[in-house]
Structure 1
């Protein structure tokens, strides 16, 4: 079932129209959230990231787009899919209405949301091999638009195809300054000794929700030093650990990059603290 601007319909009844700007021009933004037993994990962060993205894209934010209204619409979507008593992944997409060409006829918005079940209500650490490679067919721009979750994700799509064709589990995206910006499905963290770093937003990485949570956690862990700093491809093989973060998986350890194999000790430690924040938040 799909929530189409507040109305629950089947997938076949969803009518976005041939002039939908999200399809024609990638003129939309979205949030993917984990919902456990009806509770949206880190909802406040998702809400404010969505509002910020809409403002940056000069979309007109409806007066009723309050945290309470959208939270209720998300829960309504979960209930319609019979997912209220389990863990689910929910995607909320907001698109600019109307026709027009590059110049829109209006800045008003519409939205739709759908959900599907996920395996675990908690974040768990995978012990399976997970190999990554650089994706350099196309570069991510180191700019503000790259930090937003827009419906234009062609680099991530082509990178995912490249990973599948070459038997990699994920790829790391390089920006136009030749630094590592992020992974296909999340933010990247690098561990060397007791020092941890992640690319800054200025490098074009997504303004990730779990990234934000880990930044908060790391400020309280005096056993580690931490910085938001550019990561060059040459640093990858010198690292002790690499891990990827996103809202659905939490933390995904990388076990191999080319000939280098990595440990997962820090990722395991951080995952425990992340689960505590998810439960309390």
Structure 2
């Protein structure tokens, strides 16, 4: 994490933050976060991220104290972001990297970090997902449809190429993104109740409705359906769309083409939304 942050719109130094301002978030994971791509100083899909954040806070209003509404607007966050970038020469007005919003304890924390060292290579080559984890996900689990600070089960699998399955041995998601699978008749993504996070890029692709010649639909995908998968894409708000050249031991020849189609749709949507 870089040294300049903002708390409720006020530019601060990371080392000056006080633990007592974030006790419930720190000790109990009672909060939510959003991670988004910043390109040339501009945050991608900020309004969508804030809408998801406000939705999670509303659902859990009895146990997570939300920041003031005025700091949860796109205008306020853009202004905080601008001030942070201007205040820190290591960031600068044309910063490209990752922004993160954390909401909890009545505060909104905005922080920044550089893109992962392997970002460009991963975008170019994709990511293999060859491990599966079947013990932690249960169909309909409501917490897993929110980006909670209680993130250990996902964090423990980052970088391991894991796919989470539920008790019915249906695909749910990866630790850091949603899955889109090219089947015979459609590009299929697991439904929210699988469970999976309702990802921002996932929503963009579902709204688009098509990738090339294929409709994009929500549908359960069990392990028994993998023989019919020809391509796979992993989506998240930083990498946007990554090819999955191998999924649970199966080589997928159409993943690169599918990822290219997905990325084009996402980038076009980002331009329209500003």
TM-score band by shorter chain is 0.7 to 0.9
Is 2:65 aligned against 1:56?
A: no
Length-normalised TM-score, structure 1: 0.83
2:147 to 149, 157, 169: 149
| Higher mean C-alpha deviation, range 23-32 or range 191-200 | 191-200
The one-character-per-residue Cα deviations of 1:27-66 (angstroms, maximum 9, x if unpaired) are: 0001111112222111111111111011011044524233
| Offset at residue 70 of structure 1 (A) | 2.4
Q: 1:78 to 1:237 in 2, by over 3 A?
A: farther
Q: 1:78 to 1:175 in 2, by over 3 A?
A: farther
Tell me how far apart the structure 2 counterparts of residues 31 and 239 of structure 1 sit (CA, whole Å). 30
Query: For the Cα contact (< 8 Å) 2:189–2:219, is it kept in 1?
Result: yes
Q: 1:160 to 1:16 in 2, by over 3 A?
A: same
Q: 1:256 to 1:221 in 2, by over 3 A?
A: closer
Tell me how far apart the structure 2 counterparts of residues 4 and 133 of structure 1 sit (CA, whole Å). 38
Is 2:186 aligned against 1:195?
A: yes
Query: Residue 139 of structure 1 aligns to a residue in which SS?
Result: coil
Tell me how far apart the structure 1 counterparts of residues 49 and 246 of structure 2 sit (CA, whole Å). 31
Query: When the two structures are aligned, how many residues end up with a matched partner?
Result: 261
The one-character-per-residue Cα deviations of 1:89-113 (angstroms, maximum 9, x if unpaired) are: 00010112xxxxxxxxxxxx11212
| Offset at residue 199 of structure 1 (A) | 0.8
Q: Who is 2:272 aligned against?
A: 280
Query: For the Cα contact (< 8 Å) 1:140–1:155, is it kept in 2?
Result: no
Query: Residue 158 of structure 2 aligns to a residue in which SS?
Result: helix
Query: Residue 271 of structure 1 aligns to a residue in which SS?
Result: helix
Tell me how far apart the structure 1 counterparts of residues 34 and 148 of structure 2 sit (CA, whole Å). 9
Query: For the Cα contact (< 8 Å) 1:142–1:177, is it kept in 2?
Result: no
- Pairing of 1:57-72 with structure 2 (within 5 A): 57-58=60-61, 59-60=65-66, 62-65=68-71, 66-72=73-79
| Offset at residue 194 of structure 1 (A) | 4.5
2:100 to 91, 116, 136: 91
Q: Who is 1:17 aligned against?
A: 20
The one-character-per-residue Cα deviations of 1:253-277 (angstroms, maximum 9, x if unpaired) are: 1111343101222221221222222
Query: For the Cα contact (< 8 Å) 1:88–1:117, is it kept in 2?
Result: yes
Query: For the Cα contact (< 8 Å) 1:94–1:112, is it kept in 2?
Result: yes
Query: For the Cα contact (< 8 Å) 1:142–1:176, is it kept in 2?
Result: no
1:117 to 72, 92, 114: 114
Q: Who is 1:74 aligned against?
A: 81
Tell me how far apart the structure 2 counterparts of residues 176 and 78 of structure 1 sit (CA, whole Å). 45
Query: For the Cα contact (< 8 Å) 1:35–1:90, is it kept in 2?
Result: yes
1:30 to 30, 33, 39: 33
Query: Residue 242 of structure 1 aligns to a residue in which SS?
Result: strand
Tell me how far apart the structure 2 counterparts of residues 129 and 27 of structure 1 sit (CA, whole Å). 31
Which structure is higher in helix share?
A: 2
Tell me how far apart the structure 2 counterparts of residues 155 and 252 of structure 1 sit (CA, whole Å). 22
| Offset at residue 222 of structure 1 (A) | 7.2
